[in-house]
Amino acid sequence: MEIKHEHLATKGDFFVLDDTDRKIAVMTYIMVNEKTMLIEHTIVEQQLEGQGIGRKLVEAGVKYARENDLKIIPQCPYANSVFKKTPEYADVWQK
């Protein structure tokens, strides 16, 4: 399943599309400043639950943050739980 990314000036999302180009999994973020992104929400539709899609969305956000020298505030409860379980994300975690 391909994870796509769309970034507009101060916000963006990582998402998965279905066959009709409808977002069926999405993680949204806002840029609180030039170097910090805040993950707001992670939503995965029921038919995709249990497949690790939410984690893959968070991983895509972490990869993007590393590539762009950003820090992440995982405000979303799901993203926050992933960060707590993944010590490898400490380099991008803005606590």
Element (H, E) at 92: none
User: pLDDT tens across 72-94, in order?
Assistant: 999 999 999 999 999 999 999 99
Q: Where are the domains of the chain?
A: 4-89
User: Closest Cα to residue 71, out of 46, 42, 40, 95?
Assistant: 95
pTM: 0.93
Instruction: Please give the mean pLDDT across all residues of the chain.
Output: 95
Task: Give CA–CA dist 61/46, Å, rounded.
Answer: 22
CATH class of residue range 4-89? alpha beta
* SS3 label, residue 78: helix
Average of per-residue pLDDT across 28-43: 97
With a CB cutoff of 8 Å and minimum separation 6, the contacts of 17 are 2, 4, 23, 24
